[in-house]
Amino acid sequence: MVAALLGELADLVLPGACAGCGAERVRLSYGTCAACVTALEALRPYATAPSPSPAGFPPCVTVGSYAGSLRGALLAYKEKGRHRLARPLGALLAGAVAAVAPRDRPVVLLPVPSTAAARRERHGDHMARLTDHAVRRLRTAGYTATTVQPLRALPKPDSTSLDAAGRLISAVNSLRISPRISVLQRGGRIRGTLVVTDDIVTTGATLAAVARRLEEADMQVTGAAVLAATQLRRTAPGN
């Protein structure tokens, strides 16, 4: 809490470089220069899927590709503690959610959980914070929107040497359904269009694993909304 507050103050007193492009000595809005704000506002969410897609990968909409101002802003938010970016990035994420969820039904956002180590490193749960801002923006736009966290993330071993199937198994094994889930379901808080939110989709293993774990608890995911999608190189069969 203190760390987050200090981060906010540092941002106010020493705006520093633009979070999106690194430009210095420019006027910043939420830590972002006018050119980057224009670039971010011009993004139009689109459907994306990794190639190849892991089994159970949900329909997914991304705000944009992991490049340019979006990549810069996301890195500054996630890795450099520029927490004020949660508001504009959350608003962008809401745009991707709106492309997945019909407006006439309640929508429930389920952020991909962070491990305890990631929360310590990033001064809090960066996806929960982003998702809270997305919920606010959706409500302003007329949606009945809420967020719940039915999952816990355990540390998972380095997956770079695993193949696609191995990555998916590793991702599923690192997720636990919270014991509170049945209480939440009975309370009616988890009713509506379920949309998983994440920052970046790369191989799709995390989103597929989250959808699978939620399904085991009778929660059918409608889709996923992410801020950025990396462009994967296709590999030849057998590689």
CA 58 to chain centre: 14
Site for Zn ion contains 74 (CB under 5 A) = no
Give the three-state DSSP class for 59.
coil
Taking CB under 5 A as the criterion, the residue among 11, 15, 30, 33 binding Zn ion is: 33
CA geometry: angle 106, 111, 115, nearest 5 deg? 155
Site for Zn ion contains 112 (CB under 5 A) = no
Q: How far apart are CB 230 and Zn ion at their closest, in Å? A: 21
Q: How far apart are CB 45 and Zn ion at their closest, in Å? A: 21
Return the range that interacts with Zn ion (CB under 5 A); candidates 14-22, 75-83, 105-113, 150-158.
14-22
Q: How far apart are CB 27 and Zn ion at their closest, in Å? A: 11
DSSP letter (8 states) at residue 83: G
Site for Zn ion contains 21 (CB under 5 A) = yes
Query: How many CA atoms lie within 13 Å of 68's alpha carbon, on the beta-carbon side?
Result: 16
In DSSP notation, 120-175 reads HHTTS-HHHHHHHHHHHHHHHTT--EEE---EEE------TTS-HHHHHHHHHHTE
Return the range that interacts with Zn ion (CB under 5 A); candidates 17-25, 53-61, 131-139, 154-162.
17-25
Site for Zn ion contains 223 (CB under 5 A) = no
Return the range that interacts with Zn ion (CB under 5 A); candidates 2-10, 36-44, 46-54, 215-223.
36-44
Site for Zn ion contains 177 (CB under 5 A) = no
Give the three-state DSSP class for 44.
coil
Q: Residues in the site for Zn ion, rule: CB under 5 A?
A: 18, 20-21, 23, 33, 36
